[in-house]
Structure 1
Amino acid sequence: MQEQRLKTNLDTNLIKLIAIISMTVDHVGGAFFPEYPVFRWIGRIAFPLFCYCLTVGMLYTHDIKKYLLRLGAFALISQPFWILAFNSDDIVGNIFNLNIFFTLIVSLLATWGFKEKKWWLFIAGIILLNVVNFDYAMTGLILMMIFYLCRNKPWLGAIIYTLTYLPALNGYMEDPLALKIGGHAIGFEIFALLALPFIYIHTKSDLKISKWFFYIYYPAHLFAIFLIQLFV
């Protein structure tokens, strides 16, 4: 039996399922109900959960190269569907408007570089995330580093994770996605804290879902959004 490398929640099939549900709500809201920010608030749960699951995958995979190649293949497969779903009016101009898979891959590669003391890879990842217009930018790497470095100290990971999102308490009233309470705005990023219990509270759902479902779902749901937009 492979040695356990994390003391956080390893019920990753449940976590992935929650992540894709949250992501779908986010994308449906962005595509069809932009005037209702609650869809986007729910969507903030997804990205941290994906980052966490990839960190778990990095620690438990038997072959990191195959893992990265698999992620890379589906990032490329998903790219045209990502453009069609959200930027079909300017396909050529959005070729390099990269889907979230690319951010996750670079963040994962940099984290793995840190783990293996391949510092050039870690530094290259940081540079890429700051130079290329990746969605979420450095957030993916920061989260993965928290999950990796605090893998055996979940209490510390939970504290640092929470501190990472506290700046969102000071949002901007001009932001249409902000939660506005009286005359104060809270940035919608604060809702990423809702992902915290799924990562740090142990569950045993015993869900059995093929890993290919999670890969295929991403381009499939983007294509579905595009098709629905054609008839709405």
Structure 2
Amino acid sequence: MTTFLNKHKSLTTFDLKVIGLVLMVFDHIHQMFAGAGVPGWFNWLGRPVATIFFFVSVEGFTHTHDKKKYLWRLLIGYWIMGVGDALIQALFSVGNVALMNNIFGDLFVGVSAMYGYEKFKAALKKHDLKSGLSGSVLIGLPLLLSLYLHFSVQGRGFFQLSNILVNFIYPSAAGAENAYFCYLAFFLYLVKDNRKLQYLFIVIAAIWYTGYLSYWQFNDLFTVNIQWMMIFAIIPIALYNSKRGKSMKYFFYIFYPAHIWGLFILASLLGVK
């Protein structure tokens, strides 16, 4: 099997992004048009998407010439997506669909941890306390904010307002689209030079995530609790040849919000319930 995969590693970073985008569109068509009868298997196709993009973020962070700029792009994307989601939902509605999509938050948390780890590791070698502290903040702040949100979620007045502001200003792990599992990107980064260990982390995350969503009762694995299907991300990742391919640097930043908002507006105009 290993020999076969080595001979057929033909997918570039560009190809992985395209595969993720196509599967993502199917998933979001189901999200917006399930009330119109779109079949559940559209949702199945979307399960590997986040894992593919987590893997791509590891490659992107590893090879970018400006890691700080990469992190800022994700944060700005998070802000724009957050404002856009709120505005679109204020103007349109699709049954009980809550427009909470914002993968930029997940990617930011994962890449922030990668960047923090690099800064912390470099600080240890140079005995640089300031860099060490900033690295620790980058890794831990999304978790600390999650802890704050957990205790403030039932508060009133100031606490409710601060909860909203915290979620908008800085991504937390708890508020991410995939919750704490966005840290899978960080673990994939830690073993970025060992593809087999990356597969293992994906499998562990799939099992844990599935159990977490079903409270460790593994039922309805093909109807309700289908998160285990994220393991299929291993297939395109195994065919990855570590080459960049064509550049689509800003296409994802534009296409991701545009297609979600467009599908939501279309479903609203068509009266999907």
Per the shorter chain, which TM-score range? 0.7 to 0.9
> Displacement, 1:52?
1.1
1:206-221 correspondence runs (5 A) = 207-221=245-259
2: CA distance, partners of 1:10 / 1:127: 38
Structure 1 counterpart of 2:201, from 160, 177, 185:
160
- 2:57 corresponding residue in structure 1: 54
Larger deviation: 60-69 or 126-135? 126-135
1:1-232 correspondence runs (5 A) = 11-33=12-34, 36-83=39-86, 88-89=92-93, 97=100, 99-117=102-120, 118-129=135-146, 131=149, 132-141=174-183, 143-167=184-208, 168=210, 170-173=217-220, 178-179=221-222, 187-203=225-241, 207-232=245-270
Cα deviations across residues 110-161 of structure 1 (Å, max 9, x unaligned)?
A: 22212321223212233335544222111111x1122112111111221222
| Counterpart residue identity of residue 222, structure 2 | L
> Displacement, 1:85?
5.9
| Counterpart residue identity of residue 161, structure 1 | I
Go from structure 1 to structure 2 and tell me whether the alpha carbon gap of 1:119 and 1:9 turns closer, same or farther (over 3 Å shift). farther
Please say if residues 32 and 263 of structure 2, whose CA atoms lie closer than 8 Å, have aligned partners that are also in contact. yes
Q: Which runs of 5+ in 2 are unaligned?
A: 1-8, 121-134, 150-173, 212-216
Please say if residues 17 and 56 of structure 2, whose CA atoms lie closer than 8 Å, have aligned partners that are also in contact. yes
Please say if residues 84 and 223 of structure 1, whose CA atoms lie closer than 8 Å, have aligned partners that are also in contact. no
Please say if residues 110 and 126 of structure 1, whose CA atoms lie closer than 8 Å, have aligned partners that are also in contact. no
Please say if residues 26 and 39 of structure 1, whose CA atoms lie closer than 8 Å, have aligned partners that are also in contact. yes
Cα deviations across residues 39-69 of structure 1 (Å, max 9, x unaligned)?
A: 2111111101111111111111111121112
Cα deviations across residues 149-200 of structure 1 (Å, max 9, x unaligned)?
A: 2111111221222122124375344xxxx415xxxx7x21111011112223
| Counterpart residue identity of residue 163, structure 1 | I
1: CA distance, partners of 2:104 / 2:46: 16
Please say if residues 150 and 156 of structure 1, whose CA atoms lie closer than 8 Å, have aligned partners that are also in contact. yes
TM, length-normalised to structure 2: 0.67
- Identity, % of aligned pairs? 25
Please say if residues 103 and 135 of structure 1, whose CA atoms lie closer than 8 Å, have aligned partners that are also in contact. yes
Please say if residues 25 and 42 of structure 1, whose CA atoms lie closer than 8 Å, have aligned partners that are also in contact. yes
Q: Which runs of 5+ in 1 are unaligned?
A: 1-7
Please say if residues 71 and 105 of structure 1, whose CA atoms lie closer than 8 Å, have aligned partners that are also in contact. yes
- 1:4 corresponding residue in structure 2: none
Please say if residues 29 and 40 of structure 1, whose CA atoms lie closer than 8 Å, have aligned partners that are also in contact. yes
**3-state secondary structure, aligned to 1:134:** coil
Please say if residues 9 and 200 of structure 1, whose CA atoms lie closer than 8 Å, have aligned partners that are also in contact. no
2: CA distance, partners of 1:120 / 1:212: 28
CA RMSD of aligned residues (A): 3.0
